[in-house]
A and B are shown apart, each in its own frame.
Chain A
Amino acid sequence: MTTSTGIDSGALRPLRSALRAGLVVLALLLPVAQAAAPAKKADIFGVWLGIASNSNNFDPQWANTAYLPAPQFTPWGAERSRELGRLGVELPTPGACEPVNPSAFVGGFFPTQILQGHNQIVMLNEWVAVPRRIYMDGRGHPPAEDMLPTWQGHSIGRWEGDTLVVDTIGTNGRSRPINGYFANSVNATPESLKVPRLPASEQLHLIERFRVVGQGKVLEVTKQVIDPKTYKNTFSNIVYMERRPEVDVQEYYCDDNERTKDEGH
C-alpha cells in the first residue's frame, strides 16, 4: 500500500511501532516527571517594607490585623506579661538591642530582604542583628534533646502552591513582646502600649504563611502563634509589606552609639 505521500506504509511500520512504544513509556513516566517537578515558587524575593508603618495614607485593605482570637494567658504567661510591661518603661530599657524573635521579624518600620540561598531561604531585617535561615531541603526539626535554642529558632519551609509555609521552633524565650511597638509586627499607637505585653517563651511554635498579593506588589504574612507555656489558645495575625526594590537595606548595629545606656536616659 502506498500512501498519498507516495511512501510505502509498510516501510513505516517499524517506525510507527517504535513511536508507539515510546509514547507508552512517556505516558508511564509523565506522572513521575510531574511529581518530581519543583513546586512553582511565588516571587517573594527582594526587599519589602511594612505598609502601615511607612505610609501616611495606605489602602485600608493592607492594614495589619490584631492577634485573633484574643490571646488567653496561662498563669505563667500573665506573670511574664506583667514583668515585660514593667521592664518596658524602665530606663535603660533591658534588652533594647537584643534581636526580636521570629514572630516579630517581618513587618514594621524596617525593611526585610528575602534571599534565595542553596536549599534555604534567608531573611534579613534591617534592625535585627541576626538572619533567619529557613531550610527548604525537606529536613525536619532536630529532636528536642539536640535543639540549640537561638534568637530566631529553627525554621523549615515548604511551598504549598504559591504560599511559602515556614514552621519555627527552638527559640530561646528571651524575646521582647510579640505585640506593640517593640514587636516590629504591629503598628505603634498609644493604645498598643496600654494593652498587656504578649510574651513568647521557649515553647513558641510559629507557623507563617507568606503569599504575594496585590498584583505582585504586596507580601501578606499570616503568623500563627502556638505557645502552650504562655497561652491557653492559639492565635494569628496578618501583616502586609509592599515590594520596595529601590530601598537599600542599611546596617543597624545597635550598640554603635547607645547613649541611652551611657547617659541613663
Chain B
Amino acid sequence: MKVITQLGITAALVVSAMAASAHHSFAMFDLGKDVTVDAVIKEVQFTNPHVWLQIMVKDDKGTETEWSIESGAPGMMLRNGWKPSTLKAGDKVTLTLHPLRDGRPGGSLVKVKVPDGRTLGPGAPPAN
C-alpha cells in the first residue's frame, strides 16, 4: 500500500510539472530544475489556453526584472483551488518555477504561496 501511495505522489508531481504545457510542447522549460523567487505580482492574465502571471523579481543588486510565468488552463486551475481573484497586482508571493531553457526571465509555474496562505499549483491536483 505504501508503494502505491508513493507511486501516486510521484505521478501527481510529474503531472503538476507538465500541466502548464497541456496543449503545446514543454521542451522550452527545464523540468528538472526548480527556481524559487520572491516576487510581486504585476499582472494576472486569467485566459485560455493558459494563465500567465507577470511578476517582478529583484536581483541581489536591487534591479527589478519582469518574468513571465506560464500556468495551467483556467478550467484546470478553477478545479484546483484557484479563482480569478486569487492573485492581484501588488501581491507579494513566493513562487517556484521551471525556468526557460534559453535563459530568458520566465518559466512554468510549479507552485506559489498565495496571500491567503495556501500553496497552489498550475492546475493539476496538489501533491500532498
Binding site for B on A (CB under 8 A): 49, 52-58, 60, 88-93, 96-97, 109-111, 126-127, 181-182, 187-190, 247-254, 256-260, 263, 265
Contact = CB atoms under 8 A, between A and B. Distances in A.
Contacts of B104: 265
A127 B45 contact: no
Contact of B48 (A49, A88, A93, A256): A256
Given A91-B28, A254-B48, A257-B52, A109 B4 contact: no
Given A60-B4, A93-B23, A110-B76, 8 more contacts: A56-B127, A97-B23, A110-B73, A127-B22, A257-B47, A257-B52, A260-B50, A265-B104
A56 B23 contact: no
A250 to B, nearest CB: 3
Interface in B3-29: 4-5, 8-9, 11-12, 14-15, 18-19, 22-25, 27-28
Nearest to A264: B28
B52 A259 contact: yes
Interface string B103-123: 010100000000000000001
A189 B11 contact: yes
25 contacts: A53-B15, A54-B124, A56-B9, A57-B5, A58-B8, A60-B4, A89-B25, A91-B25, A91-B28, A93-B24, A96-B24, A126-B73, A181-B22, A190-B14, A250-B73, A250-B78, A251-B75, A252-B73, A256-B47, A256-B49, A257-B47, A257-B49, A258-B49, A259-B50, A265-B28
Contacts of B49: 96-97, 127, 252, 254, 256-258
Best-buried of B5, B22, B28, B106 by chain A (most CB within 10 Å): B22
A248 B73 CA distance: 14
Interface residues of B, number: 40
Nearest to B78: A250
Nearest to A256: B48
Nearest to B6: A57
Interface of B: 4-5, 8-9, 11-12, 14-15, 18-19, 22-25, 27-28, 45, 47-50, 52, 68, 70, 73-76, 78-79, 100, 102, 104, 106, 123-128
A247 B125 contact: no
A189 B68 CA distance: 25
B9 to A, nearest CB: 7
A5 B74 CA distance: 77
7 cross-chain pairs, A with B, having the tightest CB-CB distances, nearest first:
A250-B75, A257-B47, A93-B24, A57-B8, A256-B48, A96-B24, A93-B25
Contact of A56 (B70, B74, B76, B128): B128
B125 A56 contact: yes
A249 B75 contact: yes
Contact of B25 (A57, A60, A90): A90
B31 to A, nearest CB: 8
A111 to B, nearest CB: 8
Nearest to B51: A257
B18 A181 contact: yes
Given A56-B128, A257-B48, A265 B102 contact: yes
Contacts of A89: 25, 27
